[in-house]
Chain A
Amino acid sequence: MVWYHWIALLAVMVCLTGCIIHLVKLVRPGKPRDYSRPAGRVGTAILYSLSGAMNTTKKESAFLHLPTYKAGIIYHLGIFSAVPLFLILLSRSFHSAWWQWPLASLFAVTGLCGFGVWAKWIVKKELRSISIPDDYISNILVTSVQFMSAIVLLHPEWLPVYFLLTSALLIYIPTGKLRHAEFSLPQDISLDIFTDGVASGRLAGCNG
């Protein structure tokens, strides 16, 4: 373990602590009082919300904004891929492997998608008006980590910068917009716990 590993570990601790505090706050109020009769199957709704509901033909918000919607999906693919890479780089020494180039290319593409979304926020008046500085900072941090993931896979000498940037992101996650990952996942995954089954089924367009 070298110094930047320790900083990264500290950042992970801060991030986890913040997320646990949020989770406790989130779970404590409990399930909303439901006056309606249960309808549909929660399992089917969850499955649908994580699959079919993301189909680009399903929701108006997706098919009216297709390029941005697709860019957003790819961007998030990069985010989910960056997590295991971070854990691998944190837990073992870096050795070259066959997957370096394909993975670096993937991160370059996902980073570009993130940059595209950020640029759209700058250019479009409507988006500027509903955005706050936190939105831009969050995007810059996440996009930078994806670009840096691509760089570090091909140039390991950048590892200190990679870990410092990732640590900044981890510390930032519980503070602002990025915590949506924690707060909105229960909507998708635990429909029966945090929302009423009837509404969730309808939201997902699912008759279960």
Chain B
Amino acid sequence: MKMEPITDDIRNKGLEVFRNIRDSKLLSHLNSCRHCGFCAESSIYYQVNPDAKFVPARKADLVSSVYRRYCTITGKYLPGLFGARELNQDTVEEMVDLLFGACTMCGRCTLHCSVGMDISDLVRTGRNMLSRMGYMPGTLQKTADAALGSCNNLDISTEEFTDTLKWLEEDLKYDLNDDQAVIPLNEYGRRILYTLNPREPKFFPLSISAMAKVFHAAGESWTLSTGMYDVTNYAYYSGNLDEARVIAQRLFDEKNPTGTDNLCCGGGGRQLAMSEYNERRISIAAMKPHQIRDTGAEIVVTPCRNCIDQPAQINLTYKLGAQIKTLSEIVADSLVLKEKDTDTHKASSPEL
């Protein structure tokens, strides 16, 4: 990736991150790594390509070493002894390649760190530095700009979104033969605000229909919003992971390892926003076909849209011949709705 040469001004913008540390947690993590290397296997990048540069501690140390150089006396005067690095062109290039291009921010290394260090937080801090200096990968920057400008990272206009929902709703009513089947938008007072990944209205609108069908069958009070939200990393940070698993287990087996030990579910899906690293993203997904084949599954279920695009590509690249679906699509396909007569049609929610 071609980068603008670093200047003192650019460097200072990056170092501002360390000059304004606002929580003890980050300071603690910057000074806690023992360099034991136990975290190596927790990275999917290292698992596929056991190169030392992919060890999470190495990525974290890129950030800590710059901190030591500019914020500690020993690092300032004895940089060689204490592993303190200048924030120069070489360091920045390595940071961009490893912190953006070789980390999905899945948090698996943090979970398995032998001393509980938040490695993801350090990677995020490094990305913050690079972003301030203007060294964010171009495709990711475009995505971020789109999200800032239009509230969604694919730059979908409100008009386009509402039009999509309108025809989806018409199709839903037709499919269910029920005028009560709706896709509510910006309805106040609803119990659930359902958030979408912008990929859904843009490329996979039928997954919205599937979710609407499930809500309709459940008689749920819900709505979508024109202020769309990017709900990536769902499995790691949503509060109802256990419930999602219970639903999935009624229908399918989980891959192994599972739960918090699982590998990033797409094997790098969170890298989709950076096409600069497409080749590496597909290469690190190499462990996923084995996991999927081991289950003997014909259908693979993942929780969110980002995590479905990556397996879909793996499916093609590694010729798995499986179907890749979201949980809502599977549940919607499995629903058997009771036929209603005309009188009950308008009166109440449908029955399962």
A binds B: yes
Chain A residues engaging chain B, CB cutoff 8 angstroms: 22, 25-33, 49, 53, 59-62, 64-65, 68-69, 72, 124-127, 129-135, 137, 175-177, 179-180, 183-184, 186-188, 193-196, 199, 202-205
B28 and A26 contact, CB distance less than 8 A:
yes
Q: Does B260 contact A (CB under 8 A)?
A: yes
Given known contacts A26-B28, A29-B22, A60-B41, A130 and B58 CB-to-CB distance under 8 angstroms: yes
Q: A60-B41, A186-B28 are in contact. Are A135 and B21 (CB under 8 A)?
A: no
Q: Which of B108-133 contact A (CB under 8 A)?
A: 110-118
- Is the CB of B218 closer than 8 A to any CB of chain A? no
Q: How many Å lie between the Cα of A28 and that of B26 in the bound state?
A: 12
CB closest residue in chain A, given B73: A175
28 contacts between A and B (CB under 8 A): A26-B28, A29-B26, A29-B27, A30-B23, A30-B24, A32-B25, A32-B26, A61-B42, A64-B38, A65-B36, A68-B38, A69-B38, A124-B37, A127-B35, A132-B35, A132-B83, A134-B82, A134-B83, A176-B81, A177-B35, A180-B31, A184-B32, A186-B24, A187-B28, A194-B24, A195-B25, A195-B118, A196-B25
A interface footprint on B192-235 (CB within 8 Å = 1, 0 otherwise): 00000000000000000000000000000000000000000000
- Residue B39 CB within 8 A of the other chain: yes
Q: Which residues does chain B contribute within 8 Å of A62, judged by CB atoms?
A: 38, 114
Asked if residues B81 and A59 are in contact (CB atoms below 8 Å), the reply is: no
* B residues apposed to A, CB below 8 Å: 21-42, 50, 52-53, 55, 57-58, 61, 74, 80-83, 110-118, 260-261
Q: Are A205 and B24 in contact (CB under 8 A)?
A: no
Measured CA separation A180–B21 after assembly (Å): 18
Q: Is the CB of B41 within 8 A of A64?
A: yes
Docked CA distance A127–B55 (Å) = 9
How many A-B residue pairs have C-beta atoms within 8 angstroms? Tell me.
140
Q: If the complex has contacts A64-B41, A127-B37, A184-B32, are A29 and B116 also in contact, measured as CB distance less than 8 A?
A: no
Q: How far is the CA of A133 from the CA of B81 in the complex (A)?
A: 5
Q: How distant is the Cα of A49 from the Cα of B81 in the complex, in angstroms?
A: 32
Q: Assess A188 versus B116: contact at CB under 8 Å? Given A129-B52, A130-B55.
A: yes
Which one, B23, B33, B42, B115, contacts A60 given CB within 8 A? B42
**Closest residue on chain A to residue B259 by CB atoms:** A205
Task: Please give, as numbers and ranges, the residues of chain B lying within 8 Å of A31 by CB-CB distance.
Answer: 23-25
For A175, give the chain B residue with the smallest CB separation.
B74
Cβ of B58 and Cβ of A129 under 8 Å apart?
Answer: yes
Q: Contact check, B52 vs A204: say whether CB atoms are below 8 A apart.
A: no
Kindly report which residue of chain B lies nearest to residue A137, judged by CB atoms. B81
Once the chains are docked, how many angstroms separate the CA of A205 from the CA of B80?
A: 37
How many angstroms between the C-alpha atoms of A53 and B24 in the bound complex? 23
